[in-house]
Amino acid sequence: MLQILLFVFYIWGIHLRFAEAEIKLVDAEKCLVWGAGIKPDVSVLPARYFFIMAIDKNGQRYLESAPLNFQVKIKGNSPHGRCRSHVDVIDRGDGTNIVRYTTADWCDQVEIEIRYNGTQVAQSPYYVRNKVYSEKCYCPQDLQLFMLHNNCPNAAADKQIMWDLHSFKRVNFSAIRENLMKRYNQPESVSLCHYVVKQQQIWRQCYGKYTGFKMFMDSTLLALSRVALLPDMEFYLNLGDWPLSKKGGQQRTSGPYPIFSWCGSEDSYDITLPTYDLTESSVENMGRVALDMLSVQRNEHPWELKEDKAFWRGRDSRRERLDLIDLSRKYPELINASITNFFFFRDEEQKYGPTVPYVSFMEFFKYKYQLNIDGTVASYRFPYLLAGDSLVFKQDSPYYEHFYSKLQPYKHYVPFKRNLSDLIEKVQWAREHEKKVREIIHNAREFVEANLLPQHIYCYHLALFKEWSNRLVAPVVVMPGMEKVQTSYTCFCKEPQIKDEL
């Protein structure tokens, strides 16, 4: 009986201590609000976004979610009466929130109102001076101005762009086009498109059997052309997985051909663009794509509740993915891994199957550790894994996306050997070094915030295209046989002459 009573007091004590912790109240005025999304007249993106950091009455930031949600409203007038908007507040679970929103057509006299428990937050309401246009309106700004308004670094400040372009100081397509086509017009094995941007119009001609992925570049160029005046330029885009412009061999004599690709590699000269996946989710933010670099930061699985294991799901597109299944069977207490789909190694499905039901990407973050293993080339989930709040283990790889060169091992992720030989040891290390692990996760998120959000994806394309256009010495012309990519927009910035109202 006494024991039970003591136990009850003990629980009560714990409860009281928690209750004390809970009365940490948010000081609405002291909260911090920052980001281009509070200047939507200047910074135009598919979804505008900004950040809120909760601060308590003692001036301390929260390390977990604030007790209540922040309420955000976009007020204003539009051609249809009240400004139509859609707002999404993403709680990152660390005392910070991402607020993103879209508006339809245009809105005037916009006010962004942020409240916490009824009280205005920081300098809310934020008054927006000029009209706010939807990104779906055709409103190209001067390129330099767009880059300035969106804090885009110039190409010269980007390691990867400079590295990719260092073999292409002066490109004369009139001189190399014929040989380039001889080399890469191989419909059975190569799919590529020639793009020309001229006076804000987009033209292309594709070669190869599988050219469906051209839709991604079409929509990227169209989206960029709605917000910025693009330089006249042309480029060849590889639609396949593998980089094309191989080092060594023939290229030693002819010089490398400039090919744009979504994946770069140590043994090629391909010029890397942000992947179609990352770009699509930036261009379609709050549109038809559900998983993007903002939504993936929504905290659904607090650290304390995560399983202390490494998690992986994916296709059988590389031998090491099968090797991982072997490891997970040997060390089920450390790794939960399964193949979702057999295609490349169908004859080994018996051994490495059965396939498992689909797990939504957000569910991955129920686990403390995430594994990034190459597919046919780099695994394009890597940026999304970095943005989540789990530790990412990355397989060593000759393949890379446009941002890898800015990452540092053990600062932003934990590397493991290509043949997985040290993976188990690394996972065990992580289980014993929680403090360091959480520091790496924190750094990864900071990296994402500085490099991989929709704004940065726009910036990277524009900086690269601007620099690229400077290096083209032959006149840019629309070639016979090219198809015009149809523009898509729902409104203009310059309002058409208003007819006499009746």
Ligand X SMILES: *[C@@H]1O[C@H](CO)[C@@H](O)[C@H](O)[C@H]1NC(C)=O
Binding site for ligand X (CB under 6 A): 25-26, 67-68, 117, 172, 174-175, 332, 336, 359, 417, 419, 421, 473-474
Of 32 and 473, CB closest to ligand X: 473
Q: CB of residue 348 vs ligand X: minimum separation in angstroms? A: 19
CA distance 231 to 140: 12
Of 222 and 362, CB closest to ligand X: 362
Residue 99 has φ and ψ, to the nearest 5°, of -110, 125
Q: CB of residue 77 vs ligand X: minimum separation in angstroms? A: 31
Q: CB of residue 316 vs ligand X: minimum separation in angstroms? A: 18
Of 25 and 289, CB closest to ligand X: 25
Of 14 and 473, CB closest to ligand X: 473
CA distance 437 to 408: 14
Of 240 and 415, CB closest to ligand X: 415
Phi-psi region of 35 (alpha: psi -120 to 50; beta: other; left: phi over 0): left
Of 60 and 421, CB closest to ligand X: 421
Of 176 and 289, CB closest to ligand X: 176
Q: CB of residue 41 vs ligand X: minimum separation in angstroms? A: 33
Peptide bond into 243 cis (omega under 30): no
Stretch (H or E) spanning 432? helix 423-432
Which whole-number Å values give the CA distances from 310 to 30, 353, 365, 427, in the listed order? 39, 19, 10, 7
Of 400 and 447, CB closest to ligand X: 400
CA distance 361 to 324: 19
Q: CB of residue 176 vs ligand X: minimum separation in angstroms? A: 8
Cα angle 454, 376, 324 (rounded to 5 degrees) comes to 100
CA distance 336 to 438: 21
Q: CB of residue 415 vs ligand X: minimum separation in angstroms? A: 11
CA distance 319 to 345: 8
Of 419 and 488, CB closest to ligand X: 419
Of 151 and 419, CB closest to ligand X: 419
Q: CB of residue 209 vs ligand X: minimum separation in angstroms? A: 30
Hey, how many other C-beta atoms are within 10 angstroms of the C-beta on 475? 10
Q: CB of residue 25 vs ligand X: minimum separation in angstroms? A: 5
Reading the block at residue 483, the tokens are 């198809």
Which whole-number Å values give the CA distances from 465 to 154, 230, 235, 393, 492, in the listed order? 11, 8, 9, 32, 24
Q: CB of residue 241 vs ligand X: minimum separation in angstroms? A: 24
Strand locations in 55-200 (E): 70-78, 81-82, 85-91, 96-103, 106-116, 119-120, 126-127, 132-133, 137-138, 192-198
Contact predicate 402/451, CB 8 Å: no
Stretch (H or E) spanning 261? strand 260-261
* Cβ-based burial of 58 (10 A; exposed 0-12, middle 13-18, buried ≥19): exposed
Q: CB of residue 481 vs ligand X: minimum separation in angstroms? A: 20
